[in-house]
């Protein structure tokens, strides 16, 4: 009886399942795995289309490539998928929340106005957290910036001396990862070294690229010794869009929303953060001008 019911359900849902996208697809994959469990135990034979779900594997071609056929039948893999799904969701939430902050045009004040035209605005959110929004035009295409800031995130320490290390701990498909970031202990930095554990999520919409992030947790990666309690980044977001004047440049908007933790006077934190944004942009410009190409990895 059960096999017959499952087969019937498969048949009915096939047209809908084929047209799903994004999270719905991942959910379908998870259900597929559960069905595969039952089928493994010899309780039922699935129609051939059920195996075409393997197409979704591109959503998790990370670190070490996994073969769909190999892991689909293990219980651990379905738990893993659930965890991966939660990170993707958290990344999407970070993007949504950060955009809400950026898009609310009220209450922004100019904090720093640089000669090159860069401006940092600030705003105090309910709960008294001060956030900063940098607006700059960079001499690079959105794809190039995406390459440096997302794909080659681990290499950022090579061109930004404020970063001691960035490690991708988990890669979930092309658009989500869990990263551990350690800021450098630099001279004149009154804040001291911090470490962050974040989910980083990328979304491309038309010509616009969004890089969102938010503090997260990972069981296998508890707060590290030697650091003041782990700082929390986000919800934060970088928006990269073409300037639209055919110069190949990009408009760069970066919301810095950070809780540095530890006992620090607000005045110090509120100077250090916009300073870090100015420095970051300066190092990024310098890196872009060295002519590093999209292909070198």
Ligand X SMILES: CC(C)CCC[C@@H](C)[C@H]1CC[C@H]2[C@@H]3CC=C4C[C@@H](O)CC[C@]4(C)[C@H]3CC[C@]12C
Question: Is the Cβ of residue 50 or residue 273 nearer to ligand X in the bound state?
Answer: 273
200 part of the interface to ligand X, by CB under 6 A: yes
172 part of the interface to ligand X, by CB under 6 A: no
Nearest alpha-carbon partner for 141 in 289, 288, 242: 242
Q: Which of 166, 177, 197, 199 is the binder for ligand X (CB under 6 A)? A: 166
Q: Are 231 and 259 in contact (CB under 8 A)?
A: yes
Binding track over 137-156 against ligand X, x by CB under 6 A: ------------xx--x---
Question: Is the Cβ of residue 85 or residue 214 nearer to ligand X in the bound state?
Answer: 214
Q: Rounded to the nearest whole angstrom, what is the least distance from the CB of residue 8 to ligand X in the complex?
A: 46
Question: Is the Cβ of residue 46 or residue 269 nearer to ligand X in the bound state?
Answer: 269
Instruction: Tell me the site size for ligand X, rule CB under 6 A.
Output: 21
For 185, phi then psi, to 5°, come to: -95, 95
Nearest alpha-carbon partner for 199 in 225, 223, 170: 170
Say what angle helices 75-103 and 22-40 make with each other, to 10 degrees. Answer: 170
Binding track over 51-90 against ligand X, x by CB under 6 A: ----------------------------------------
Q: Which of 194, 195, 216, 240 is the binder for ligand X (CB under 6 A)? A: 194
Q: Rounded to the nearest whole angstrom, what is the least distance from the CB of residue 104 to ligand X in the complex?
A: 21
In 10 A of CB 247, how many CB atoms? 11
Q: Rounded to the nearest whole angstrom, what is the least distance from the CB of residue 117 to ligand X in the complex?
A: 21
Q: Rounded to the nearest whole angstrom, what is the least distance from the CB of residue 254 to ligand X in the complex?
A: 8
Q: Rounded to the nearest whole angstrom, what is the least distance from the CB of residue 269 to ligand X in the complex?
A: 8
Q: Which stretch binds ligand X (CB under 6 A): 64-72, 96-104, 114-122, 191-199?
A: 191-199
Q: Rounded to the nearest whole angstrom, what is the least distance from the CB of residue 126 to ligand X in the complex?
A: 23
197 part of the interface to ligand X, by CB under 6 A: no
Q: In a 10 Å sphere around its CB, with 0-12 CB exposed, 13-18 middle and 19+ buried, how is residue 282 labelled?
A: middle
- Tokens representing 110 are 């100019």
Using CB under 6 A, which residues numbered 260 to 289 contact ligand X?
260, 272-273, 276, 280
Task: Report the C-alpha gap between 35 and 45 in whole angstroms.
Answer: 10
**Binding footprint of ligand X on the chain (CB under 6 A):** 149-150, 153, 162-163, 166, 181, 183, 191, 194, 196, 200, 211, 213, 233, 238, 260, 272-273, 276, 280
């Amino acid at each position: 009886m059960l096999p017959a019911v499952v087969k019937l359900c498969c048949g009915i849902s096939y047209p809908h399942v084929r047209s799903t996208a994004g999270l719905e697809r991942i959910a379908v994959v998870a259900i597929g795995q559960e069905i595969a469990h039952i089928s493994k135990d010899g309780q039922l034979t699935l129609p051939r289309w059920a195996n075409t779900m393997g197409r979704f594997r591109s959503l998790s071609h990370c670190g070490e490539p996994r073969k769909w056929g190999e892991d689909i039948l293990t219980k651990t893999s379905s738990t893993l998928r659930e965890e991966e799904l939660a990170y993707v969701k958290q990344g999407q939430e970070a993007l949504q929340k950060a955009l809400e902050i950026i898009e609310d045009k009220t209450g922004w004040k100019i904090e720093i106005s640089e000669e090159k035209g860069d401006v940092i605005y600030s705003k105090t959110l309910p709960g008294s957290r001060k956030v900063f929004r940098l607006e700059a035009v960079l001499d690079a295409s959105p794809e190039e910036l995406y390459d440096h800031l997302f794909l080659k995130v681990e290499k950022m320490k090579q061109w930004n001396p404020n970063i001691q290390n960035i490690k991708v701990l988990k890669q979930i498909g092309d658009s989500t990862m869990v990263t551990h970031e350690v800021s450098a202990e630099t001279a004149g930095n009154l804040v001291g070294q911090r470490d962050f554990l974040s989910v980083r999520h990328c979304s491309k919409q038309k010509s616009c690229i969004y890089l969102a992030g938010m503090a997260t947790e990972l069981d296998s990666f508890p707060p590290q010794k030697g650091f003041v309690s782990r700082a929390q980044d986000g919800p934060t977001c970088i928006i990269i869009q073409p300037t639209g004047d055919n110069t190949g440049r990009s408009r760069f908007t970066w919301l810095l929303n950070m809780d540095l933790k530890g006992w620090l006077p607000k005045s110090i934190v509120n100077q250090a953060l916009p300073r870090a944004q100015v420095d970051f942009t300066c190092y990024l410009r310098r890196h872009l001008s060295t002519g590093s190409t999209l292909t070198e990895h």
